[in-house]
């Protein structure tokens, strides 16, 4: 019951404090200074061109790959697969509503028809589903700085010494934005060492590595994008490698498959992949724009996250007082 009462006080506070209109999350992002934005290297962008739609319109999906310490074994494989043009001519084979879109070799189950994988792909152990964050160093930050969040489930607002924004979470002890990515943290219990583990989390638009039952069987050749409510139960059970930063509508609006798990029942239903390339390997006549993400260690991002959790722009009459990490998407923009 104590928890309930504390949460009520937090809930009531923002309403009472509001006398004048405050900027919306979008306005906060629009006002962020140039220095709060981080360029995404073309070597970290994977560009998937699907066959044009029924009206002949091109369908390009742009994916940002994760930085270290996350999932670099699988990402290395993905770079090799793209360099080998392995996905060219393959297809999207599965679209399950409120869950995932999956692509790769539609004939992978049939050894006689399966497309051979490039040589020297790495077999990545399941231990790599999590990374080491380092020593946990939480300090309290006074509310006057504005650099804080007041999530309902999480007690007082806190910042990491690194200025990374943290969030209450229901799937892990704490959620955090780390190097531009939504992630979760916990102490490493098994080793009995005060090491902190960090792993990326399954939000809308995230890209993961399909696998068979043994947890080290995902190579990166079978990829999926989340197109529904965050399936956070998959965290630490399957590898995440990136996120869609443009063109997700070309995946999320595809017809749903009617077979088990949303697989298409016939090859005719599949959408063909023309090519998947790193942006740095695209031919010169098809340039990709430059992209930036809002630094998750910036003051602008902290204000944006706070505003997402406490909507006070004109439409809203009751700010929630909290938000889950997947309801605070990291802003990404085209630069040119």
Of residues 268 through 307, those in contact with a copy of itself by CB under 8 A are none
Q: Is 235 in the site for a copy of itself (CB under 8 A)?
A: yes
Q: Is 217 in the site for a copy of itself (CB under 8 A)?
A: no
Q: Binding residue for a copy of itself (CB under 8 A) from 24, 168, 219, 298?
A: 168
Q: What's the CA gap between 165 and 197, in Å, rounded? A: 17
In three-state secondary structure terms, 308 is: helix
Q: Binding residue for a copy of itself (CB under 8 A) from 49, 105, 164, 169?
A: 169
Q: Is 12 in the site for a copy of itself (CB under 8 A)?
A: yes
Nearest to 255 by CA among 135, 51, 101: 101
Q: Is 233 in the site for a copy of itself (CB under 8 A)?
A: yes
Q: What's the CA gap between 98 and 69, in Å, rounded? A: 29
Q: Binding residue for a copy of itself (CB under 8 A) from 45, 82, 183, 326?
A: 326
Count of positions on this chain that bind a copy of itself (CB under 8 A): 68
Q: Binding residue for a copy of itself (CB under 8 A) from 104, 154, 180, 182?
A: 154
In the structure encoding, which two tokens stand for residue 260, read together?
């088990």
Which range, of 30-38, 75-83, 105-113, 201-209, touches a copy of itself by CB under 8 A?
201-209
Q: Is 194 in the site for a copy of itself (CB under 8 A)?
A: no
Of residues 117 through 136, those in contact with a copy of itself by CB under 8 A are 126, 129
Minimum distance from residue 285 beta carbon to a copy of itself (Å)? 25
In DSSP terms, which residues pair with 333 in a beta bridge?
292
Ramachandran assignment for 89, one of left (phi > 0), alpha (psi -120 to 50 degrees), beta (any other): left
Using CB atoms within 10 A of its CB, is residue 244 exposed (0-12), middle (13-18) or buried (19+)?
buried
In DSSP terms, which residues pair with 64 in a beta bridge?
45, 243
Of residues 252 through 271, those in contact with a copy of itself by CB under 8 A are 252-256
Helices (H) then strands (E): counts for the chain? 5, 18
Asked if 282 and 318 touch (Cβ cutoff 8 Å), the reply is no
The 3-class secondary structure across 117-135, one letter per residue, is: CCCCCCCCCHHHHCEEEEC
Asked if 203 and 213 touch (Cβ cutoff 8 Å), the reply is no
Instruction: Indicate the residue among 220 and 322 with the shorter CB distance to a copy of itself.
Output: 322
Q: What does the binding site for a copy of itself look like in residue numbers (CB under 8 A)?
A: 1, 3-5, 7-8, 11-12, 54, 95, 97-98, 126, 129, 138, 151-155, 167-174, 186-187, 189, 203-205, 213, 215, 228-233, 235-237, 248-249, 252-256, 308-309, 311, 314-324, 326-327
């Amino acid at each position: 019951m104590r928890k309930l009462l504390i949460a009520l006080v937090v809930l009531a506070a923002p309403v009472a404090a509001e006398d004048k209109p405050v900027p919306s999350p979008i306005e906060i992002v629009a006002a962020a200074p140039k220095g709060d934005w981080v360029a995404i290297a073309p070597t970290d962008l994977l560009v998937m061109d699907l066959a044009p739609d029924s009206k002949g319109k091109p369908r390009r999906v742009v994916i940002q790959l994760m930085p270290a310490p996350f999932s670099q074994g699988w990402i290395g494989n993905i770079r090799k697969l793209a360099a080998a043009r392995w996905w060219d001519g393959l297809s999207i084979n599965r679209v399950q509503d409120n869950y995932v879109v999956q692509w790769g070799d539609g004939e992978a189950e049939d050894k006689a028809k399966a497309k051979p994988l490039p040589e020297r792909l790495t077999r990545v152990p399941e231990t790599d589903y999590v990374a080491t964050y380092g020593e946990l160093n939480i300090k309290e930050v006074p509310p006057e700085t504005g650099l804080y969040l007041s999530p309902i489930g999480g007690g007082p607002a806190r910042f990491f010494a690194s200025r990374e924004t943290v969030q209450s979470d229901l799937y892990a002890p704490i959620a955090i934005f780390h190097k531009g990515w939504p992630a979760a943290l916990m102490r490493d219990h098994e080793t009995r060492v005060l090491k902190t583990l960090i792993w990326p989390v399954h939000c809308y638009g995230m890209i993961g590595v399909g696998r068979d039952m043994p947890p080290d069987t995902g190579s990166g050749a079978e990829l999926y994008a989340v197109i529904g409510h965050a399936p956070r139960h998959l965290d630490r059970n399957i590898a995440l490698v990136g996120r869609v930063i443009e063109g997700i509508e070309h995946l999320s609006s595809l017809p749903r498959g009617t077979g088990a798990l949303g697989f298409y029942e016939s090859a005719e239903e599949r959408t063909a992949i023309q090519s998947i390339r790193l942006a740095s390997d695209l031919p010169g006549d098809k340039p990709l724009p430059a992209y930036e993400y809002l630094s998750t260690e910036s003051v602008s991002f902290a204000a944006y996250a706070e505003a997402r959790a406490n909507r006070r722009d004109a439409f809203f009459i009751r700010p929630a007082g909290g938000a889950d990490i997947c309801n605070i998407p990291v802003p990404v923009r085209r630069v040119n």
